[in-house]
Amino acid sequence: MLNKWLLLFNTAKYLKISQISNRIKRKFFNPRFSLSIAPQVSNPNNQLSAVINCSQSLYESYSFVFLNKEFQIKHSKDWNSSKQDKLWLYNLHYFDDLNAVGFETRSPWHCDLIQKWIDDNHPGSGNGWEPYPTSLRIVNWIKWSLLTNNFKKEWLDSLALQIRFLNQSLEYHLLGNHLFANAKALIFSGLYFSGHEANEWYKVGAEILNKELPEQILSDGGNFELSPMYHAIFLEDLLDIINIHQVYEKKLPKNILPIVMQMLRWLKVMSHPDGQIAFFNDATLGVAPTLHNLLSYSKRLNINYTYSQEDQLIHLKESGYIRVNRKELAIIVDIAEIGPNYLPGHGHADVLSFELSLFGRRVIVNSGISTYESGGDRNIQRGTLAHSTIAIDGENSSEVWSGFRVARRAKVFNIINSNESGNIKFSACHDGYKRLNGKIIHCREWNVCENLLELEDHITGSGKHIISSVLPLHPEVKVSMVKNNSVILEVDGKKIKVCFKGEGELLVKKSQYHPEFGLSIDNKKLIYNYNGSLPFKTNIKISW
């Protein structure tokens, strides 16, 4: 019980006063909103530019596939089915399929679906009326309406009801990407409808946007939640906002265009040679648009971003990531804090981890994420042992718990990097294990030179501890010839040698890789274990 209270205290002490007060407010006050008919719809000045089409999720009338799980809506209660995870139900209420690949061919299904949702979902009740799915659904309905010109009056009245409800339920208790999604929906609503009420919606949304952009986008272009996946989602939101402003020839809120340019560059740095994002914090494939799709969308909006050849060493200082490009090698390294102090819910205990691509293929990875449901799987996937870094005594470098909570967090310090005569070195330390007996500090140095990546870990402190150096491998990597604390890996027909030096023992263990929600693939991970007294030093050489 004492440990539970300590976790709660060390989690809550980082929250903003506004988050706490708004949590209390939401507990005792229900939103009040008008049931009157919708305002007049505005006349667009231009067509909506083609948006990014996500993957199809509606395959038969009322039959959906989300997160690699299929389910059919047969009864009104199925919109909130206890058989499905919360995230699956959220996806159901987003209505993403209205703007998915081939949406035009499914128009009859979409019309039936909109009507069924209105009939089955009582205002203010259930998952579908929570502010976040409401925000995404409002935007999807408006996009679909502008692209198809097919929207009944009854649907407009429901849409206006949803907007009024959202306007009274803004997620100030969460902030971050949730509040920004609320703002985006109000901006869309204020432009789509006309009149005083619509103008007020737009005003509220624009005020939130203007306040949150400097807070949520760091000076190096990264989204402050430090997840490449959420960064890409946020970037698509900004492009959508530019799109809807062009439709109604409304002046853009200030600073959006330069921020879009910065964010595109950041995402390029944080993407592997395969064009997909690296897995730091909550990040997986199939949720956010790819860099290629975002660049294409930008071009359709007359935003012509071109990126020049990047330097060998790129340090995103405010975000806390380093990338090195060198011939066959691309490495992306996490020397970041876990996320915003008051909003670390998408953070993992992955400090000083890295992802390595060789010959254009992923080799060493973090393990990704397959679920947002609190419990064993999510705890494991957020934990240090699922990442390419050092775990001590089986503990996490930051105290991740209960799905989206973090108590004590690792702090990064002594960040050093250099690039001299083709030798690239960088290093950092963190104090996440200082809470353990012996006041432990972990420092890691990376050295990149010709056909060699060398890592050196220094664990200082006192006492006897179990040190585990973990290297999860991409599922396509083959493992052979494990001998004398070295192993031969093979990827795309090419050999890679990994050698561990120290007083530990190398093990090759079965593991799992989570490239999408609801998907777990068998892989291997290398674990170099040491059980003994501190200080301890280990060296890893990866050559090809």
- Determine the pLDDT at residue 3: 81
- Determine the pLDDT at residue 181: 98
Instruction: Say which CATH topology domain 313-543 has.
Output: Beta-galactosidase; Chain A, domain 5 (2.70.98)
Q: Encode pLDDT of 300-351 as tens digits.
A: 999 988 877 677 999 999 999 999 999 899 999 999 999 999 999 999 999 9
Rounded to an integer, what distance in angstroms lies between the CA atom of residue 33 and that of residue 43?
26
Percentage of residues of the chain with pLDDT beyond 70: 99
- Determine the pLDDT at residue 309: 65
Rounded to an integer, what distance in angstroms lies between the CA atom of residue 66 and that of residue 54?
12
Alpha-helical (H) ranges within 383-470 are none
The Cα-based distances of 6 to 10, 135, 398, 408 in angstroms read 6, 35, 14, 10
The Cα-based distances of 84 to 80, 87, 376, 403, 517 in angstroms read 8, 8, 17, 17, 13
Q: CA triplet 155, 161, 165: central angle to 5 degrees?
A: 145
Q: Cα–chain-centroid distance for residue 401?
A: 18
Q: How confident is the model at residue 510 (pLDDT cuts 50, 70, 90)?
A: very high
What is the greatest pairwise CA distance in the chain? Answer: 76
Rounded to an integer, what distance in angstroms lies between the CA atom of residue 358 and that of residue 355?
10
Q: Encode pLDDT of 496-506 as tens digits.
A: 999 999 999 99
The Cα-based distances of 331 to 238, 357, 389, 401 in angstroms read 28, 6, 14, 29
Rounded to an integer, what distance in angstroms lies between the CA atom of residue 432 and that of residue 383?
13
Helices 153-167 & 196-216 angle (0-180, nearest 10): 50
| Mean predicted lDDT score pLDDT of the chain | 96
Segment 361-382 mean pLDDT: 97
101 has pLDDT over 90? yes
DSSP state string for 122-190: -TT-SGGGSHHHHHHHHHHHHHHHHHH----HHHHHHHHHHHHHHHT---TTT-HHHHHHHHHHHHHHH
Rounded to an integer, what distance in angstroms lies between the CA atom of residue 279 and that of residue 387?
9
Rounded to an integer, what distance in angstroms lies between the CA atom of residue 276 and that of residue 266?
13
CB atoms within 10 A of CB 72: 11
Model pTM? 0.96
31 has pLDDT over 90? no
Contact status, residue 470 vs residue 385, Cβ threshold 8 Å: yes
User: Could you tell me which of 192, 97, 198 has the C-alpha nearest to residue 151?
Assistant: 192
User: Could you tell me which of 361, 363, 379 has the C-alpha nearest to residue 371?
Assistant: 379
* Identity of residue 174: L
Contact status, residue 128 vs residue 134, Cβ threshold 8 Å: yes
Q: Encode pLDDT of 181-230 as tens digits.
A: 999 999 999 999 999 999 999 999 999 999 999 999 999 999 999 999 99
Sheet of strand 478-483, all strands in order from the earlier edge strand to the far edge: 412-420, 423-430, 441-449, 452-460, 536-543, 494-501, 486-491, 478-483
Query: Where do the structural domains in the chain lie, given as residue ranges?
Result: 55-204, 313-543
Q: SS3 of 537, please? A: strand
Q: Strand 69-72 vs strand 63-66: parallel, antiparallel, or unpaired? A: antiparallel
Matching residue, tokens 């294409």: 296
Rounded to an integer, what distance in angstroms lies between the CA atom of residue 342 and that of residue 336?
16
Rounded to an integer, what distance in angstroms lies between the CA atom of residue 35 and that of residue 243?
30
Q: Encode pLDDT of 116-156 as tens digits.
A: 999 999 999 999 999 999 999 999 999 999 999 889 999 99
Question: Length of the chain in residues, anyone?
Answer: 544
- Determine the pLDDT at residue 458: 98
- Quote the tokens at residue 363: 């080799």
Contact status, residue 445 vs residue 427, Cβ threshold 8 Å: yes
- Determine the pLDDT at residue 537: 97
- Determine the pLDDT at residue 281: 98
- Determine the pLDDT at residue 127: 97
Q: Encode pLDDT of 435-460 as tens digits.
A: 999 999 999 999 999 899 999 999 99
**φ and ψ at residue 493, rounded to 5 degrees:** 80, 0
Contact status, residue 428 vs residue 335, Cβ threshold 8 Å: yes
Matching residue, tokens 């909570």: 405
- Determine the pLDDT at residue 507: 97
Peptide bond into 535 cis (omega under 30): yes
- Determine the pLDDT at residue 287: 97
Segment 85-107 mean pLDDT: 97
The Cα-based distances of 28 to 15, 22, 131 in angstroms read 20, 10, 17
Rounded to an integer, what distance in angstroms lies between the CA atom of residue 366 and that of residue 403?
18
Rounded to an integer, what distance in angstroms lies between the CA atom of residue 117 and that of residue 76?
8
The Cα-based distances of 542 to 312, 384, 442, 500 in angstroms read 18, 21, 20, 9
Sheet of strand 63-66, all strands in order from the earlier edge strand to the far edge: 58-60, 63-66, 69-72
Query: What is the three-state SS of 449-498?
Result: ECCEEEEEEEEECCCEEEEEEEEEECCCCEEEEEECCEEEEEECCEEEEE
- Quote the tokens at residue 322: 């380093």
